[in-house]
A and B are shown apart, each in its own frame.
Chain A
């Protein structure tokens, strides 16, 4: 039983240091991987002696895997417990503050709440008793949370003592993959429901793009439909429409193909793939549900039917906005290459928030011609801001090499089928305890610090994916006054391996997309 006095005496913040040093020691252990392989007695040493030496080495190696697994399990469990106890303590403080504001006395040992005040009417007494009960419930919920966190952590420590943490038979990095003891009883699906709401397992996308030339201007328009199956079982459908004008300009040796236009995004979220299918099945029927009076104005009636039908769904986002984009080719003394970038600004009528998106990709050769120092990068950033100007979340995403994911994020990406490239998304939102610090750094223009905080405390999703093009094509169309080029296509992107590092945690949850489909 955890008492109020005891919970107040706990300093979960000090567990931070424990996690950091455990993770550091674990790193020193996993860094020994090459030496472990190289220390295996050579196969050229045959016979009984050689085989028994290799046997002993293997036994030693398996014991080392278990040690790494133990350290990892304890680190993850301390990390998890720290967050839980921190939350329990702040809930307890809030309840105690509420009690003090009402003039109640709270016994720090027994938890008993007393009210020294006297009341004139029975209604006042009832109100005071009600308030006392609410505070008592809040206190006991906070104490229960802390006790559970303590018991979960103790269980991990006891399991390590008993040698019950299994390190498997793979590499040292594989042995690192350990869940905190508090999450052990959850099924893969329950874990995905808890941590996978931002993880796309499958993305089906169709697009239609048209570009026409009119005098010296270019007209462009695009429609994109996306169907995304998330790890938590939900299905998100997005319909994007955009249209704009552009032209080619030359600035100081660089050729810029710039354009700007307007966008509309409609996002529907369904609880499951079945619900999404029912929606699509119903769309046809509803769209073409026309009476004979509708016939003269059929296009209008269809549009109205579709709009009405969509209104009945769970519209999770409806954005209107504008974009500006440019494609750039440069050939200067110091660098040659090409890049493209796009900035989007929008207002979301459902979430009542503004957003700014920035995406860029650059491929360049730097230095004098022929030196072959080339670089390529692909990254995107999105910030969402509410009506009052408060930042809601900031997401950074891009493609990085497998080495970066292991080095910087502690996520052991292996056997990547995408040629070593992996998708990384780092998200910082109010779900993190460090969000205010991050927001202040962003606003103060200290982007290095902001990026550091996001990498240390943000939610990190790493995915290796495979993409299959379903169809694609290109057509030239002669419109008499203009020539147009139409492109269309579809693709399916499938996540092969997924890792999620939750907000404010150092442990990484590995999700197997095959188990979740």
Chain B
């Protein structure tokens, strides 16, 4: 197996991660909880729902941003991954196998 295969595998996971990031961004439910305040005006839940709305908006955005950042990092790693890394990896794998025979 050449280093290009590993490179491609890393790129593939980066691509999938981009799909997850955009999926999570699209599934942000923060706007939905606003309906709680409309249905139950002046309730304790209405007050909590307002806080949750902004918390979720932030939290979902942060998750997608972090996933995007990780995707970029993966793409960079794939580009940087070369023959030298691949050899190092193989040596590492052999060394681990020697010490941990049960590891596959």
Contact = CB atoms under 8 A, between A and B. Distances in A.
A49 B76 CA distance: 12
Nearest to A70: B56
Contacts of B49: 157
A417 to B, nearest CB: 27
A50 B32 contact: no
A81 B77 contact: no
A60 B66 contact: yes
Interface in B62-104: 63, 66-67, 70, 73-74, 77, 81, 85, 88-90, 92-93
A143 to B, nearest CB: 13
Interface in B16-72: 16-17, 19-20, 23-24, 26-29, 32-33, 35-36, 38-45, 47-49, 51-52, 55-56, 59-60, 63, 66-67, 70
B35 A18 contact: yes
A420 interface: no
A459 B6 CA distance: 50
Contacts of B16: 35, 38-39
Given A44-B1, A47-B88, A161-B51, A32 B23 contact: yes
A342 to B, nearest CB: 47
Given A74-B33, A78-B36, A150-B40, A41 B19 contact: no
Interface string A1-28: 0100010011111110110011001101
Given A42-B9, A53-B77, A56-B70, A157 B41 contact: no
Interface string A58-97: 0010011001001100100010010001000000000000
Given A25-B28, A41-B13, A10 B41 contact: yes
Given A29-B24, A60-B67, A67-B59, A150 B43 contact: yes
Nearest to A49: B77
A22 B29 contact: yes
A22 B31 CA distance: 10
Given A44-B6, A45-B89, A11 B23 contact: no
A402 interface: no
B70 A47 contact: no
B45 A161 contact: no
Interface residues of B, number: 53
B10 to A, nearest CB: 6
A49 B88 CA distance: 11
Contacts of A50: 89
A86 to B, nearest CB: 11
A13 B40 CA distance: 10
A38 B23 CA distance: 14
A22 B6 CA distance: 39
A60 B70 contact: yes
B6 A18 contact: no
Contact of A18 (B5, B32, B47): B32
A516 interface: no
A10 B39 contact: yes
Contacts of A44: 1, 5-6, 9, 89
Contacts, number: 158
A22 B33 CA distance: 8
A179 interface: no
A154 interface: yes
A151 interface: yes
Contacts of A32: 19-20, 23-24
A25 B52 CA distance: 15
A244 B87 CA distance: 81
A21 B24 contact: no
A160 interface: yes
B74 to A, nearest CB: 7
Contacts of A53: 70, 73-74, 77
B36 A25 contact: no
A35 B26 CA distance: 15
A38 B18 CA distance: 11
B89 A12 contact: no
A71 B29 contact: yes
A431 interface: no
Nearest to A34: B16
A25 B40 contact: no
B85 to A, nearest CB: 7
Interface centre among B41, B67, B88 (most CB of A within 10 A): B67
A465 B52 CA distance: 40
A456 to B, nearest CB: 19
A150 B44 contact: yes
B12 A38 contact: yes
B39 A15 contact: yes
Nearest to B43: A150
A458 B38 CA distance: 27
Interface of B: 1, 5-6, 9-10, 12-14, 16-17, 19-20, 23-24, 26-29, 32-33, 35-36, 38-45, 47-49, 51-52, 55-56, 59-60, 63, 66-67, 70, 73-74, 77, 81, 85, 88-90, 92-93
Given A22-B33, A25-B29, A39-B19, 9 more contacts: A15-B35, A22-B29, A28-B26, A41-B74, A78-B36, A81-B45, A150-B44, A151-B44, A160-B52
The 3 closest A-B pairs by CB, nearest first: A39-B16, A42-B9, A157-B48
